[in-house]
A = this chain, B = another copy of it.
Amino acid sequence: MIDDTLARERVVEAADQLFYAQGVQAVGMDAVRAAAGVSLKRIYALFPSKDALVAAVLEQRRAQWNAGIAAGTAGADTARGKILAVFDFLDAWFREPDFNGCAFINAYGELHGGNPAVTRTVREQKASFQRYIADLVREAGGPETLAAQIAILAEGAQTTAAIAGTPEAAAQARAAAEVLLDAALA
């Protein structure tokens, strides 16, 4: 028998991939069991319900996103460079073959507030991203208002790329961010 921690990881990882690719409601717990190789009994010992599993999956996505953003912006040495690097990070993400839009937006749109833990996690994720951008904007010497605008560009790029199925929204949003930065810092 495998470790509880490992089983948990496998279940969350398998559920994440399935939920992201097909949607939460389209994936049954039995599909998660098959993909994770962990019995239903075990899954329900680790998570009290599917809702709890969904919340855990989104929590993991949140950590992955934060780590990805941190890694993607680490190379830039100015705040302005870090802000633009966010859009480069999006660009690379949009080009991944299994890109399917923002998991948080998808989950929020799908569950429509029917799962409070999901709503909370999605809100917190978006708010923390906005705080991250706000810190960078402040560091760059830009005004408060600029941060929200940059964040809106990033959100819009994600939904545009997801629905269109093409990655060019990242570069378009990046160019817009450059114009906004130049105008604010002039």
Interface residues of A (CB under 8 A from B): 21-23, 25-26, 100-101, 104-112, 114, 122-123, 126-127, 145, 148-149, 151-160, 162-165, 168-169, 172-173, 175-176, 179-180, 182-184
B100 in contact with A112 (CB, 8 Å): yes
Q: A23-B111, A23-B114, A179-B180 are in contact. Are A151 and B160 (CB under 8 A)?
A: yes
> Which of B23, B26, B105, B173 sits near A149, CB closer than 8 Å?
B173
A152 and B122 alpha carbons, distance in the complex (Å): 20
Count of this chain's copies in the oligomeric assembly: 2
Q: A163-B123, A180-B176 are in contact. Are A109 and B114 (CB under 8 A)?
A: no
**6 interchain pairs, CB-CB under 8 A:** A23-B112, A105-B105, A123-B164, A152-B156, A155-B155, A156-B156
Closest residue of B by beta carbon distance from A174: B149
Closest residue of B by beta carbon distance from A114: B26
A165 and B154 alpha carbons, distance in the complex (Å): 18
B126 in contact with A149 (CB, 8 Å): no
Q: A153-B152, A164-B123, A180-B179 are in contact. Are A110 and B110 (CB under 8 A)?
A: yes
